[in-house]
C-alpha cells in the first residue's frame, strides 16, 4: 500500500510541476489496489471457485467486448494494443491457479482444459500475442510442479520481465546493434520505434520529473500512421520515464518487484505462486512493448490474480491450513 500510495503521490507531484493529467495513473493505482483487496478476500474464502470464475469472465471478455481498445487497432503484433493479450494471459493464469488449488483430479483436468481453451481464444479473436501468452502461461504452470526452488523460479520470472524492458529502452536510445534493431523493426512498425525514440528523448529532457502525466502526446513528434499522437509511447517503462522521470520508473519497478516478493512469501503452494508470477510476467512483457497497462481491465485483473495467489485460505477456526 505504501508503494501504491507513492505512485499516486508522485503522479500528483509531477502533474503539479508540469500541469499534467494524473487521472489515468490514479485510476490504474486504484484498480490494482481494489483488485488486490478483492482477490485476497475472495481467494481466502473460495480458493478454487474465485479464480475459476475470474478465468471464465476473463476468457469471455475478448469475445463479448472485442473492442477492449477504443482507439486504432495496432495489430503488429499485439492485437488490440495488447489489452486482449494481457487479459487472456491473466485469465489463463487464474484457471491454472484454480487447477492447482483443486483437490479432485477431475476438477484439475477440467480447469486445465479451461485454461487451454482460454489460450485458444486468442486465435479466435485474431490476437496471436494473446494465444502465445496464454500458451506460455499454461506451459509454465505445468512445469511449476517440477521447480525445486520457488526463489529460483521467481528470479527467472524477474529476468524474463526485465529483458524486454531493457531491449525497448535500448531501442529508444538507439543503443542496440544493427542486427537487433532490424529484428525489432521486422516485428514492430517503424512508427512504434519512433514513439520509443521520442519517449527516450523526452526522458532525457527532464530526468527527474518528466514532462508530466498524460502529456506525452503534446511533445511527441512521431505517431502511428492514421492514429492520434496523444496516447503514449506504447511502452510502460518509457512512458513513465518520459512523463514522470526516473523516480516514476523506479516506482513502477518497485511495484513489480513487490508483487514477485509477495508471491515468493505466499502461503499458497509453489505451483500457484509461480503460475501467477508467469501470468503477471506476461503482462509485464506486453506492457514493455505496448499500452496494456492503460486499460483498467488489465490493471484490475493483475491485482485480482496477485490477490488470489497470495491469499491465505480461511479455515474458519483461526488456524493455518
**Domain annotation covers residue 77:** yes
The cell 479473436 sits on which residue? 125
Residue 180's H or E segment, with its range, is helix 178-187
pLDDT tens track for 138-175: 999 999 988 888 999 999 999 999 999 999 999 888 88
Contacts of 281 (CB under 8 A, 6+ apart): 157, 160, 161
What is the reported pLDDT for 76? Answer: 39
**Domain annotation covers residue 273:** yes
pTM listed for this prediction: 0.90
**Domain annotation covers residue 318:** no
Cα–Cα distance measured from residue 252 to residue 272, given in angstroms and rounded to the nearest whole number: 24
Cα–Cα distance measured from residue 260 to residue 263, given in angstroms and rounded to the nearest whole number: 5
3-state helix vs strand vs coil in the chain, percent to 5 = 70, 0, 30
Q: Are 72 and 226 contacting, i.e. CB atoms less than 8 angstroms apart?
A: yes
**Domain annotation covers residue 320:** no
What is the reported pLDDT for 231? Answer: 64
Cα–Cα distance measured from residue 290 to residue 282, given in angstroms and rounded to the nearest whole number: 12
Please give the residue range of the domain that contains residue 117: 2-310
What is the reported pLDDT for 251? Answer: 96
**Domain annotation covers residue 143:** yes
Low-confidence ranges of the chain (pLDDT < 50): 69-79, 222-230, 319-320
**Domain annotation covers residue 321:** no
**Domain annotation covers residue 117:** yes
In the chain, how many domains are there? 1
Cα–Cα distance measured from residue 303 to residue 31, given in angstroms and rounded to the nearest whole number: 7
Amino acid at each position: 500500500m505504501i508503494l501504491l500510495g507513492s505512485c499516486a503521490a508522485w503522479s500528483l507531484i509531477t502533474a503539479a510541476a508540469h500541469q499534467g493529467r494524473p487521472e489515468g495513473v490514479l485510476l490504474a493505482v486504484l484498480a490494482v489496489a481494489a483488485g488486490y483487496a478483492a482477490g485476497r478476500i475472495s481467494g481466502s474464502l473460495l480458493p478454487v471457485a474465485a479464480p475459476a470464475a475470474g478465468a471464465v469472465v476473463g476468457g469471455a471478455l475478448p469475445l463479448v467486448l472485442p473492442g477492449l481498445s477504443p482507439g486504432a487497432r495496432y495489430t503488429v503484433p499485439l492485437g488490440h494494443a495488447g489489452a486482449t493479450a494481457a487479459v487472456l494471459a491473466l485469465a489463463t493464469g487464474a484457471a491454472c491457479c484454480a487447477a492447482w488449488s483443486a483437490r479432485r483430479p477431475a476438477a484439475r483436468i477440467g480447469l486445465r482444459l479451461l485454461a487451454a481453451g482460454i489460450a485458444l481464444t486468442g486465435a479466435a479473436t485474431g490476437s496471436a500475442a494473446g494465444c502465445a501468452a496464454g500458451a506460455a502461461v499454461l506451459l509454465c504452470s505445468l512445469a511449476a510442479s517440477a521447480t525445486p526452488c520457488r526463489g529460483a523460479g521467481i528470479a527467472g520470472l524477474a529476468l524474463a520481465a526485465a529483458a524486454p524492458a531493457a531491449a525497448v529502452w535500448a531501442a529508444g536510445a538507439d543503443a542496440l546493434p544493427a542486427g537487433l534493431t532490424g529484428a525489432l523493426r521486422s516485428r514492430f512498425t517503424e512508427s512504434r520505434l519512433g514513439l520509443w525514440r521520442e519517449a527516450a528523448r523526452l526522458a532525457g529532457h527532464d530526468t527527474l520529473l518528466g514532462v508530466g502525466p498524460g502529456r506525452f502526446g503534446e511533445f511527441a513528434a512521431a505517431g502511428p500512421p492514421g492514429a492520434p499522437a496523444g496516447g503514449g509511447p506504447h511502452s510502460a517503462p518509457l512512458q513513465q520515464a518520459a512523463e514522470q522521470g526516473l523516480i516514476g520508473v523506479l516506482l513502477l519497478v518497485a511495484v513489480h518487484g513487490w508483487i514477485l516478493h509477495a508471491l515468493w512469501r505466499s502461503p499458497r503452494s509453489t505451483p500457484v505462486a509461480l503460475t501467477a508470477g508467469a501470468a503477471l510476467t506476461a503482462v509485464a512483457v506486453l506492457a514493455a512493448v505496448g499500452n496494456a497497462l492503460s486499460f483498467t481491465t488489465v490493471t484490475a485483473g493483475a491485482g485480482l490474480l496477485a490477490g488470489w495467489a497470495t491469499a491465505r485460505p480461511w479455515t474458519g477456526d483461526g488456524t493455518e491450513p
